[in-house]
Amino acid sequence: MNAVITGASKGIGKAIAEKLALEGFNVAICARNAATLAETQAAVQAKNPAVKVLAIAVDMGNKEEVLAFADTVKNNFSTIDILVNNAGIYTPGAIHQEEDGLLEKLMAVNVYSAYYLTRALLPVMIAQQKGHIFNMCSTASLKSYPNGGSYSITKHALLGFSKNLREELKNLQIKVTSVNPGPTLTASWEGFSGPPERLMPPEDIASVVWSAYQMAPQTVVEEILLRPILGDL
């Protein structure tokens, strides 16, 4: 069994990679920071020394690097059971105040990377007539909020991509799940001064991804919504 997780050097991506390795999956992970990625590769491998952990430094905002990563995955894995499009950048701000070019930058990482990688890996899933794609959206995909700016725009777009993909692939026996987490203890919340229990642990996101994957072949969880018990921040 093989899985591909983007943006996996920390946070939700790392938690998912560790969970899948524990469950016996070979995993291909990527992130921009090579040093942090190497540390994550060692941590994931430690969870299960019997699996293969492929780690490639990739700028997910660069189409050529995304496609090169896809080629590396296909050269190492003959099948792809799970794809988790998790790479993303969070930059708060109001549309009329944020710096010029921010929308394009966030679209490249938060949306286009998922589009390019999915298109590149889908032929493998189609040939094997199975597979599960998880797109890591957000509560920002569902509701506008102050200082959402371009980030919220891209997360709405990613949810739209995910819904469209679900319709296109259902007759090919390929599942698509949109995951919409609220505030989670990741790098996006570094410096948060509130009580730690206001943020969800990334391991919880990994747990629900695994639960959704384990459903019967004829069952798909289309959308998952998670929030801290006290609500969004």
Residue 233 lies in a domain: no
pLDDT at position 95, please?
Answer: 85
56-76 confidence digits (pLDDT tens): 999 999 999 999 999 999 999
In a domain, 231, yes or no: no
Specify the amino acid at residue 209.
V
What is the predicted pLDDT for the residue at 20? Answer: 98
Number of domains in the chain: 1
Establish whether 90 is a catalytic residue. Answer: no
Residue (of 3, 14, 140, 141) closest to 84 by Cα position: 3
**Ranges in the chain, pLDDT < 70:** 187-193
**CATH value at residue 114:** 3.40.50.720
Catalytically annotated residue among 112, 116, 151, 213: 151
Number of DSSP helices (H) and strands (E) in the chain, helices first = 7, 7
**Residue 133 included in any domain:** yes
Q: Which residues contact 167 (CB under 8 A, 6 or more apart)?
A: none
At residue 192, the pLDDT reads: 64
Instruction: Please check whether residue 183 lies inside any domain of the structure.
Output: yes
DSSP character at residue 111: I
Q: Is 22 a domain residue?
A: yes
In this predicted structure, what is the pLDDT of residue 188?
Answer: 64
Whether 144 is covered by a domain: the verdict is yes
Distance CA 224, CA 52 (A): 29
> Which domain range does residue 25 map to?
2-226
Please give the helix or strand (H or E) that residue 175 lies within, else none.
strand 175-181
| 232, part of any domain | no
CB 5 within 8 A of CB 17: yes
Give a yes or no: residue 119 inside a domain. Answer: yes
For position 143, what pLDDT does the model report? 86
